[in-house]
Structure 1
Amino acid sequence: MARLEAVVFDIGNVLIEWNPERFYDRVVGEPRRRAFFKAVAIHAMNERVDLGAVWEDEVSALAREHPDWAEEINHWHGRWIEMASPEIPRSVRLLRALRAKGVPVFALSNFGRETFAEALRHYPFLSEFDRAFVSGHLRQAKPEPAIYETLERESGVAPGALLFTDDRPENIEAAAARGWHTHLFEGPDAFADRLVAEGLLTAGEAA
C-alpha cells in the first residue's frame, strides 16, 4: 500500500464551523429562519458563489428578487463571517503539527473567491497550506471529479498517497472513488487518532 505523503483538509466544519442556520436562528428566530430558507433559494445562490460568481452581486440580485426577505438575504454578505465561525482549535493545531513535521498539507474546499478572502482576513491560518484548492478560483466544486483531478495533477501527489478529511459523505465518496484515503470528519479528536494511526503524527504531536 502506498505510503501517505500529504493531507488534504476541507475547511467548513473541519477547520472553521459553518452554520448559517444557527446564525439565523439567533438573529431572527427559528420559525422565521425556516420560512426564509423555504421561500428563498439561498443555498443555491451560495453554490453559484462557490463556483466563482461575484458574492456581493449574487446577494444583491437575490435581495431585489425577494424584497420581503431583503434584510435576511443581505446578512449573507454583511454578516457572513458570523456564519463561518468560530475556528475549531484542535483542527488548526493538527494542521500546524503536520506542517511542522514537513508533511505537505492542502485545502480542498467549496468556497467563493471573495468569501475565501474574507475568511483569510479573520483566520490567518488559512494562509498556511502548501496550497489551497478553492472552488471559486478553479470554477470546479466537490463532489465533481474535476476538482479532485486538479489537486492530483497540480500537487504532483498520487491519489493513493493522499489522506482527505471532509464532513460531507458525498465528498469523501468522490475522493475514495479516485483511490484517495479518506476520513469522514465528525470532530478533531477522531481525526487526530487517524493521523496517529497512519504514522503521520505521534500522540504528543497530535495533542
Structure 2
Amino acid sequence: MTPEAVIFDIGNVLIRWNPESFYDRTIGEARRRALFAAVDLHGMNDAIDAGALFRETIYDWADRHPDWAEEIRMWYHNWIDMASPRIEGSITLLRRLRAKGIPVFSLTNFGTHAFAYAQTQYEFLTEFDRGYVSGHMGVTKPAPRIYEMVEEDCGIAPDRLIFTDDRAENIAVAAARGWRTHLFDGPEGWACRLVAEGLLTKEEAAL
C-alpha cells in the first residue's frame, strides 16, 4: 500500500548541520575541541530545540562561560553558517513529491526563533504541507510523544507515513510506532526508497 504522506527531517537531510565544521574553519580545530570539551554547546542547542529562547539562551550560556563568551555567541550570530549548505537533491525530491500532490511534512528538532529565521534564508522551508517543529511542540525527537502528536494532528495511520531522518535513534522510535522509515545517508538512497514505495518514478526521482 502506497504511503499517504512523506515526512522529512531537516538537519542533515535538507540542510547540512555541522557546527564543529564551522568552528574548525573559524577558530581552528584545536581550539574548537577545547571549546566543546568545556561547554556543552549541543546541550544548549537541545534546550533551544525544546522551546527555550534562541538569542537569550545563547547569551546566557556565554555569560556563564566568560572564557568562551565570544565563541558561544557565534552560535547565534553565525548560526546560518552552521546550518548550511542546502542539500539540493533532497530539496528536488521534496518538490517532485508536492508537484504530484503527495503531502509532504517536516518533523524537525529546531528552535522556534531559529526556524523562523531559517525560513527567511531557505525558501523551501515554507513549502511543507504541514510543519512539525519541536520548539513549537515542546518536545524533541526521539521522545515517542512527538511522533504521537504528528499522528494526532495529521490523522494518517502510522503505516501510511514514511519518514526519513539521519539519526538512527529517531528512526527507531518512529519504526516502533509502525511508521515506514528510511535512515538518510544521501539523496540518492532516499530517491531509490521513494521509487520503491511507488511515490515517484525513476525519472521523477532523477535516477
Q: TM-score, normalised by structure 2?
A: 0.98
* 1:56 matched to 2:61: no
Inter-partner Cα distance in structure 1 for 2:11 and 2:124? 14
- Following superposition, the deviation at residue 44 of structure 1 comes to 0.7
SS at match of 2:102: coil
What whole-Å deviation, never above 9, does each CA across 1:97-150 have from its counterpart, x for those lacking one? 000111110000000001101110110100100011000000011000111011
Aligned equivalent of 2:203 = 204
Inter-partner Cα distance in structure 2 for 1:186 and 1:169? 11
* 1:12 matched to 2:44: no
Inter-partner Cα distance in structure 2 for 1:156 and 1:128? 20
Inter-partner Cα distance in structure 1 for 2:141 and 2:180? 16
Name structure 1 gaps, 5 residues minimum. Answer: none
Aligned equivalent of 1:129 = 128
Inter-partner Cα distance in structure 1 for 2:62 and 2:124? 33
Instruction: Write out aligned runs for 1:7-156 (5 A).
Output: 7-156=6-155
SS at match of 2:172: helix
SS at match of 2:174: helix
- Following superposition, the deviation at residue 3 of structure 1 comes to 3.0
- Following superposition, the deviation at residue 156 of structure 1 comes to 1.1
For these two proteins, the number of residue pairs brought into alignment is 206
| Partners of 2:111 and 2:134 within 8 A in 1 | yes
Identity of aligned pairs, percent? 61
Inter-partner Cα distance in structure 2 for 1:95 and 1:156? 21
Instruction: Write out aligned runs for 1:174-189 (5 A).
Output: 174-189=173-188
Inter-partner Cα distance in structure 1 for 2:155 and 2:96? 22
What whole-Å deviation, never above 9, does each CA across 1:149-191 have from its counterpart, x for those lacking one? 1111101111000000000000000000000000000000000
CA RMSD of aligned residues (A): 0.6
Inter-partner Cα distance in structure 2 for 1:9 and 1:65? 35
Inter-partner Cα distance in structure 2 for 1:178 and 1:82? 35
What whole-Å deviation, never above 9, does each CA across 1:76-105 have from its counterpart, x for those lacking one? 000000000010001000000000111110
Inter-partner Cα distance in structure 2 for 1:41 and 1:203? 43
Name structure 2 gaps, 5 residues minimum. Answer: none
Runs of 4+ off more than 2 Å: none
Aligned residue type for 2:174: A
